[in-house]
Amino acid sequence: MAGETRIWTPIDYEADGKQSDCLRLPHSTDLSAYGWVPIPLVCIKNGTGPTALLIAGNHGDEYEGQIALSNLARETRHHKVSGRLVILPALNFPAVAAGRRVSPLDEGNLNRSFPGDAAGSPTQMIAHYVCAVLIPMADIVVDLHSGGRSLDYVASALVRPGRTAEEHEKLLRLMRLFGAPISFISDGTGGGGLTTLAAAAQEQGALALTTELGGGATLSKAGLALAEAGLKRLLKDQEILRDVAVEPASPTRFMTVRGHSAFVYAPSRGIFEPAADIGAEVLGGQIAGRIHFPDLPTREPETLFFETSGLVACRRAPSLTERGDCLFKVMADIDVGPDQVSHA
Binding site for Zn ion (CB under 5 A): 59, 62, 145
Tell me how far apart the 2 most distant CA atoms of the chain are, in Å.
71
CB of 148 to Zn ion, least distance (A): 5
Q: Which is nearer to Zn ion, 82 or 196 (CB)?
A: 196
Q: Which is nearer to Zn ion, 108 or 270 (CB)?
A: 108
Q: Which is nearer to Zn ion, 62 or 237 (CB)?
A: 62
User: Phi-psi category of 3—alpha, beta or left, where left has phi over 0 and alpha has psi -120 to 50?
Assistant: left
CB of 342 to Zn ion, least distance (A): 31
Q: How far out from the chain centre does Cα 334 lie? A: 22
Q: Which is nearer to Zn ion, 214 or 274 (CB)?
A: 214
CA-nearest of 187, 190, 154 to 324 is: 190
Q: Which is nearer to Zn ion, 64 or 237 (CB)?
A: 64
CB of 183 to Zn ion, least distance (A): 17
Q: Please state the φ and ψ torsions of residue 314, each to the nearest 5 degrees.
A: -150, 160
CB of 69 to Zn ion, least distance (A): 14
Q: Which residues pair with 196 in a beta bridge?
A: none
CA-nearest of 257, 95, 228, 72 to 160 is: 257
CB of 95 to Zn ion, least distance (A): 10
Q: Are strands 310-316 and 151-153 parallel, antiparallel or unpaired?
A: antiparallel
Q: Which is nearer to Zn ion, 62 or 64 (CB)?
A: 62
Give 114-141 as a 3 state SS string.
CCCCCCCCHHHHHHHHHHHHHHHHCCEE
CB of 58 to Zn ion, least distance (A): 6
Q: How far out from the chain centre does Cα 96 lie? A: 14
